[in-house]
Amino acid sequence: MEPLPPPHEKPRRRSIAEDEFRPLLIGQAGEFVQLANGILESPPERWTQRQVDHLYRSTSELETFLDFFGCKQNRTFHRTRELVALIRWLSRAMGGLVHLDRGMASTKIPNQGWGNEELQPRVQRAALFLGESICKCTQALREEWVERKLMWQDGALRVDSLVSGHTHVLLAPDLGEQDEAEGPGVSSAARFSGRYLRLFESWAQEATQPCKGLEGLRSFVNRFASEGIARHFEARIHNLESDYDSLVAGTSQEAENGDLLLLRGSTSLSLLLSESVTSLSHLYERHAGPGASPHERDLFGSCIDEEQLLSIIANDGVVLIWETLKTGEKMAQGLVDKLTERASATLELPTGLTLHARPLALVAQVVAHFGTPVEMEMEGSRTNAGSIMQLLVLAGSKPDCREVTFHGDRQVLKDLSRLFQAGLGESGMDRIPQELSYLL
């Protein structure tokens, strides 16, 4: 048996001739080629959800295969790999929009009229553009395929819809409500509503306004929808939806407060939009951004209208997510007011202590633990006590203030009072009481 290479050595790789690689690629791409034929035989508005999802899975596997064989660095097959990648991320983004469009009939949101008259038509237009871009990329790939002496097989794989028609059917909801085993503190329903509000309020004002023009769109996407930012917000929305499904769905509070289901609906639609934004941001940065090579940008430009793509990311993505969440803003605030016991508490800073980054971070942690809105007031000025940056700005502008007032749910104020009594952690975290163990 040949001995394994030392850990610091890379595994040896054998070069493969292009003629030897071609039959391997044809065999791997068989399903994708037939799926692409099925896609091209009908206009994008007739594609099913399952078709688009299947296209994404197929191109994901094919791109992985091409990368394994080093096609990204190969002169002959580089364009093939790039076109497959473009189709992959366009289909993932389109899949989320098609899912949203198909699900509108069964998803209830706070403003159903706005959803039907504004949200759905914009989503449909964006999905249609992505579908047309997929067709251009697929046609270019077919031409590239033949030029590279690869056989483009005949035959079309047609993936029918999972459910015929548009009827939404469910099994009988006969399990009953789940038991609520919440201990003392803020209820899960109130926490969800508070986190919904914080997510909505986290949008920068400039990111709520539609944007036009190529340079303006480039600036907008760079500031508010880079891949890193997009992934961050997608994770926040996904966590919010997961918390609802784990802690609120099926409870008596959900049964007693019908508005919760409407907020769940707008959260779900926002998540689908966010997933599409992330996919398109990834595509744009990797294939048209500053890090892309000139020939990658040329290939991107030959298949995809840059300005239209950026408009979808910005206006039908970032701005539209905010507009969707806005439909539930007043509803979420009403639930917070209803499900929490609002109060105020004025606390004195311990002698010798100032509100700098470390104690303020603990204040923000307490607020984040409960999830409901809390404001901190100093000399008549208020700010969001869940934002460390806003706390730093307020405390920095009131360096001589020794009295702090908090406004929010009584349970949160109790823990903030305990934190102040323990010296805000400045005398050692061993003084933090057991009730605040979540800070440790």
Q: Which secondary structure element, helix H or strand E, spans residue 329, and what is its range? A: helix 329-339
Task: Report, as an integer, the average pLDDT of 194-202.
Answer: 94
User: Where are the domains positioned within the chain?
Assistant: 16-160, 185-292+301-340, 341-439
Q: Which of 77-91, 147-161, 236-250 has the lowest mean pLDDT?
A: 147-161
pLDDT of residue 360: 96
Contacts of 166 (CB under 8 A, 6+ apart): 102, 105
Report the half-sphere exposure of 257 (CA within 13 A, side-chain side). 24
Report the half-sphere exposure of 172 (CA within 13 A, side-chain side). 2
- The angle, 0 to 180 degrees and rounded to 10, between the axes of the packed helices 30-40 and 49-68 is 140
165 pLDDT exceeds 50?
Answer: no
pLDDT of residue 79: 96
Contacts of 431-439 with C-beta under 8 Å, sequence gap 24+, read 436/366, 438/365, 438/369, 439/362, 439/365, 439/366, 439/369
Give dist(CA 29, CA 19) in Å, integer.
16
With cut-offs at 50, 70 and 90, classify the pLDDT of residue 18: very high
Q: Which of 9-23, 110-124, 151-165 has the lowest mean pLDDT?
A: 151-165
Q: Check if the beta carbon of residue 272 is closer than 8 Å to that of residue 99.
A: yes
183 pLDDT exceeds 80?
Answer: no
Task: Report, as an integer, the average pLDDT of 327-347.
Answer: 95
Mind listing the pLDDT tens digit for each residue in 297-326? 999 999 999 999 999 999 999 999 999 999
pLDDT of residue 156: 84
Task: Report, as an integer, the average pLDDT of 283-291.
Answer: 93
Give dist(CA 367, CA 382) in Å, integer.
15
The percent of residues above 70 in pLDDT, for the chain, comes to: 91
**What's the CATH code, domain 341-439?**
3.30.1340.10
What does the DSSP assignment read for 218-264? HHHHHHH--HHHHHHHHHHHHHHHHHIIIIITTSHHHHH-THHHHHH
- Residue 213 φ/ψ region, left for φ over 0, alpha for ψ in the -120 to 50 degree band, beta for the rest: left
Contacts of 318 (CB under 8 A, 6+ apart): 207, 220, 224, 225, 277
Q: Positive or negative, the Cα torsion across 148, 151, 154, 158?
A: negative
Put simply, whether the predicted model's pTM sits higher than 0.75 gets the answer yes
Helix (H, G, I), strand (E, B) or coil at 290: coil
Residue-averaged pLDDT of the chain: 91
